[in-house]
């Protein structure tokens, strides 16, 4: 027992130190650390250069906490009233997002000769962006205050809420429960999400009053504990734990939300890094080569459709061209929900090739998504955008008449 504990401490300590060095190196060269964390996971996972033996279970729990913290921090950015307003205005963007990104996944599965269950799973994998990855990227790039960010978050919120309804249906279909089982699971999800939203809107202020901003330690423990509790209850009710954590963030408001954001940020960064590493750990590099080309083709196609989603949604919101491009490029990574959906398929025995394809697909989008999100910050990209805007203004000017 003592030996296992010491090995666990050695592995975790060495891993966290290595992640710190990778993050420092990435920022020094202007790169997001997320792809580096994923590659580190591949090196230390199954079939990697130096597999971890004692700490995999601990890292798995830490990864789950990482997703929960990423989503509660995302929820702390907005009040319940702002969420409802954003959902109303972004509903067309959410429908566009589903149409442009879920359909390619379903059609791709059908072209590969897979059955309708596999098509349903791949549609979900290609549909939903990674709220955790995107929230981290927006924070790293200092864009949380940008004009296009509320629109990006609105699209992510609609996706996350849609997952609260999609996951129970997908679970029932994959388990062979039929239409009745799917409708029953959907009913539980709808009631749960609506109930939490009503509580957040009507009693969010009262909930915040139970917590004191004058005692940082008590505030940290109460917010963190409440988040884990609600996330666990949501998962037990077959609603995503990430959605439950997001709704906790929405429910907290005022000074409590502001101070909670400050004290939770270091904790979020720690466990978010663990989440990205765990995703790489769960992937065997040997399974990737046979499905790499199909995954690459699907990734390119659906990253383009995500860019189109963000661009069109931002244009509808009246955002200028640079913001439209930032919005579209920011939405490209897939992540935690795609992994969860793929895991459901693996557990139910659907199409053996789906798991490595989904893993390769998510890795491609998560590695290249943060890189693409940085493009609008480069001088050459800004120059191209300015030339485009100048050309549009020149074309819009009326031609003087010659008498």
* Position with higher pLDDT, 15 vs 309: 309
Among the residue ranges 29-33, 241-245, 266-270, 374-378, the one predicted with the least confidence is 29-33
Question: Roughly how many angstroms between the first and final C-alpha of the chain, as a whole number?
Answer: 96
pLDDT band, very low/low/confident/very high, at 97 (cuts 50, 70, 90) = very high
Q: What is the DSSP string of 33-88?
A: SHHHHHHHHHHHSTTSSS--SSSHHHHHHHHHHHHHHHHHHHHHTS-HHHHHHHHH
* Position with higher pLDDT, 247 vs 327: 327
Q: Which residues of 101-110 are buried (b: 16+ CB within 10 A; e: fewer)?
A: bbebbbebbe
| pLDDT surpasses 90 at 104 | yes
pLDDT band, very low/low/confident/very high, at 403 (cuts 50, 70, 90) = very low
According to the model, what pLDDT value does residue 186 have? 67
Which of 40, 47, 59 is CA-nearest to residue 284?
47
pLDDT band, very low/low/confident/very high, at 240 (cuts 50, 70, 90) = low
Per-residue pLDDT of 249-301, as tens digits, reads 878 877 888 888 889 888 888 888 887 787 677 667 777 788 899 999 999 99
According to the model, what pLDDT value does residue 332 have? 94
Cα–Cα distances (Å) from 293 to 161, 269, 288, 363, 364, in that order, read 32, 33, 10, 13, 11
Residues 373, 137: contact at Cβ < 8 Å? yes
* Position with higher pLDDT, 321 vs 211: 321
According to the model, what pLDDT value does residue 211 have? 80
According to the model, what pLDDT value does residue 253 have? 76
Which of 300, 304, 305, 306 is CA-nearest to residue 364?
300
pLDDT band, very low/low/confident/very high, at 311 (cuts 50, 70, 90) = very high
According to the model, what pLDDT value does residue 181 have? 63
Ordered domains of the chain (ranges, CATH):
56-389 (1.20.1530.20)
According to the model, what pLDDT value does residue 3 have? 66
According to the model, what pLDDT value does residue 353 have? 81
Residues 181 and 168: their CA atoms lie apart, in Å, by 9
Average pLDDT score, the chain: 81
Helices (H) and strands (E) in the chain, counts: 16, 0
pLDDT band, very low/low/confident/very high, at 30 (cuts 50, 70, 90) = low
According to the model, what pLDDT value does residue 300 have? 96
> Stretch 325-333: mean pLDDT, rounded?
93
pLDDT band, very low/low/confident/very high, at 111 (cuts 50, 70, 90) = very high
Query: DSSP label at 133?
Result: H
pLDDT band, very low/low/confident/very high, at 329 (cuts 50, 70, 90) = very high
Per-residue pLDDT of 332-368, as tens digits, reads 998 777 877 877 777 677 777 887 888 889 888 988 8
| pLDDT surpasses 80 at 52 | no
pLDDT band, very low/low/confident/very high, at 238 (cuts 50, 70, 90) = low
Q: What is the percent of the chain with per-residue pLDDT over 70, rounded to a whole number?
A: 87
Per-residue pLDDT of 136-190, as tens digits, reads 788 888 887 888 888 888 888 788 777 767 877 777 777 766 556 666 766 776 7
Q: What radius of gyration, in Å, describes the C-alpha atoms of the chain?
A: 22
If you search the block for the tokens 């398929």, which residue do you land on? Answer: 345
Q: What's the predicted TM-score (pTM) here? A: 0.73
If you search the block for the tokens 């130190």, which residue do you land on? Answer: 17
Q: What is the percent of the chain with per-residue pLDDT over 90, rounded to a whole number?
A: 16
pLDDT band, very low/low/confident/very high, at 397 (cuts 50, 70, 90) = low
Residues 151 and 161: their CA atoms lie apart, in Å, by 15
Query: DSSP label at 288?
Result: S
| pLDDT surpasses 60 at 401 | no
Pick from 7-21, 63-77, 207-221, 295-309 the range whose average pLDDT is largest: 295-309
């Amino acid at each position: 027992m003592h030996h296992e504990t010491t090995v666990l401490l050695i592995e975790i300590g060495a891993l966290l130190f290595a992640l710190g060095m990778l993050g420092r190196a990435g920022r020094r060269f202007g790169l997001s650390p997320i792809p580096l964390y994923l590659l580190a996971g591949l090196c230390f996972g199954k079939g990697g250069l130096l597999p971890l033996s004692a700490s995999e279970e601990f890292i798995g729990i830490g990864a789950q906490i990482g997703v929960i913290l990423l989503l509660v921090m995302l929820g702390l950015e907005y009040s319940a009233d702002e969420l409802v307003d954003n959902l109303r205005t972004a509903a067309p963007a959410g429908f566009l997002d589903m149409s442009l990104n879920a359909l390619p996944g379903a059609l791709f599965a059908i072209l590969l000769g897979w059955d309708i269950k596999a098509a349903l799973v791949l549609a979900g994998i290609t549909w939903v962006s990674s709220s955790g990855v995107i929230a981290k990227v927006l924070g790293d790039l200092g864009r949380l205050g940008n004009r296009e960010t509320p629109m990006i978050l609105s699209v992510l919120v609609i996706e996350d809420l849609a997952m609260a309804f999609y996951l129970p249906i997908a679970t029932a279909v994959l388990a062979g429960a039929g239409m009745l089982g799917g409708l029953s699971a959907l009913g539980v999800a709808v009631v749960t999400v609506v109930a939490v939203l009503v509580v957040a809107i009507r009693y969010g202020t009262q909930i915040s009053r139970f917590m004191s901003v004058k005692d940082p330690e008590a505030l940290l423990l109460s917010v963190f504990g409440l988040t884990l509790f609600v996330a666990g209850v949501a998962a037990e009710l077959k609603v995503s734990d990430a959605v439950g954590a997001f709704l906790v963030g929405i429910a907290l408001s005022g000074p409590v939300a502001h101070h909670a954001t400050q004290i939770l940020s270091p904790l979020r960064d720690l466990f978010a890094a663990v989440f990205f590493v765990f995703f790489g750990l769960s992937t065997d590099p040997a399974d990737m080569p046979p499905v790499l080309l199909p995954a690459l083709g699907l990734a390119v196609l659906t990253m383009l459709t995500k860019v189109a989603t963000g661009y069109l949604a931002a244009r509808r919101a009246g955002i200028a061209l640079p913001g439209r491009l930032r919005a579209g490029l920011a939405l490209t990574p897939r992540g935690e929900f795609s992994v969860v959906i793929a895991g459901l398929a693996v557990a139910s025995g659907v199409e053996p090739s789906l798991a490595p394809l989904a893993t390769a697909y998510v890795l491609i989008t998560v590695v290249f998504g943060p890189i693409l999100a940085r493009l609008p910050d480069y001088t050459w990209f800004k120059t191209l955008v300015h030339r485009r805007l100048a050309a549009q203004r020149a074309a819009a000017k009326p031609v003087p008449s010659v008498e």
